[in-house]
Amino acid sequence: MIKFNHVYKIYEKDIKALDDLSFSVEKGEFVFLTGPSGAGKTTVFNLLYREDIPDMGTILVENSDIAHLARSRVPYYRRRIGFVFQDFKLLFDRSIFDNIALPLVLTSTAPEFIYKTVNDAIKRIGLEGREDVDPWHLSGGEKQKVALARAVILNPPFIMADEPTGNLDEENAWQIMTMLDELNRAGTTVMVASHNRDIVTRMGKRVIRLERGKAVE
C-alpha cells in the first residue's frame, strides 16, 4: 500500500528531516508513527499529502510513485486519502452538514446522494439533529468526529491522522481511536501519528518509531 524507499528530505543545508527512511505499510494495516518532535513525522505526512516531494528516494502509494504525479492529478490522489488533523481543520462558517459534504461536492455527487450519505454519517457520529450547527458550537471531541466523518465520506482506502487525539480528553480520544479501529477492521489502511504512549500501547498496533529522520521499528 505505502512504501518509503530510502527517502531523504533536506530542508536546510545539513539538516536532514528524513535520512534514508525506508518502511512499508501493507494494505489493511493499522500503523502508529511515533517519535519525538523533529523526528520527521510531519515531513512523512507532508510527503504523503503530496505537499512536498522527497529530495531522494521513492514513495509508492498503491504502486504509484507519488513524486511523479502531475500537478493536475494531485487533487484526485488526495481524494483517495482521508486526512484527520490535530486541529480538526473544519470550515467554521459552514454547518456540520456542509463540512462533511464537502468532499462529495468536490466530486460532483448528486445532491440526493449527498443528503442521504451525509445524514447517515452524522447519525453514526451521534450528532443527529445538529446538522445545521456551525462547528463553533461543538466540543473538541465532536469537532474531531466531524473531521473524521468528512475524511471517510468518500470511502478512501487509506486514512492518515496527524495527532488526532492531541486536543482531546481521554474519553474523546478513545472514541476517536475506536472509530479509526472500526474503519481499519472494515479494511481501511490507517496511519496515525501520535505522541500519546498510553493510546499507542493500549491499541497494540504496529509502531514505526522515527528518530532523527530514520525508522526504528
Contact residues toward another protein (CB under 8 A) are 49, 72, 75-79, 83, 89-91, 93-94, 102-103, 105-107, 150
Smallest gap from residue 130 Cβ to another protein (A): 20
Q: Which is nearer to another protein, 16 or 50 (CB)?
A: 50
Smallest gap from residue 82 Cβ to another protein (A): 9
Smallest gap from residue 147 Cβ to another protein (A): 10
118 Cβ neighbours under 8 A, 6+ residues apart: 97, 100, 101, 104, 131, 153
If you compute the radius of gyration of the chain from its CA atoms, what whole number of angstroms results? 17
194: cell is 501520535
Q: Which helix (H) or strand (E) holds 67?
A: none
Please say whether the beta carbons of 206 and 32 come within 8 A.
yes
Q: Which is nearer to another protein, 20 or 52 (CB)?
A: 52
Smallest gap from residue 168 Cβ to another protein (A): 19
Q: Which is nearer to another protein, 138 or 203 (CB)?
A: 138
Cα separation, 153 vs 155, whole angstroms: 5
Q: Which is nearer to another protein, 61 or 199 (CB)?
A: 61
Lay out the sheet containing 189-193: strands in order across: 81-85, 158-162, 189-193, 30-34, 206-211, 214-216
Smallest gap from residue 193 Cβ to another protein (A): 15
Q: Which is nearer to another protein, 107 or 178 (CB)?
A: 107
AA identity, residue 2: I
Smallest gap from residue 206 Cβ to another protein (A): 25
Q: Which helix (H) or strand (E) holds 158?
A: strand 158-162
**Helix/strand/coil for 86:** coil
From residue 189, alpha-carbon distances to 24, 25, 92, 154 in Å are 12, 8, 29, 14
Q: Which is nearer to another protein, 145 or 150 (CB)?
A: 150
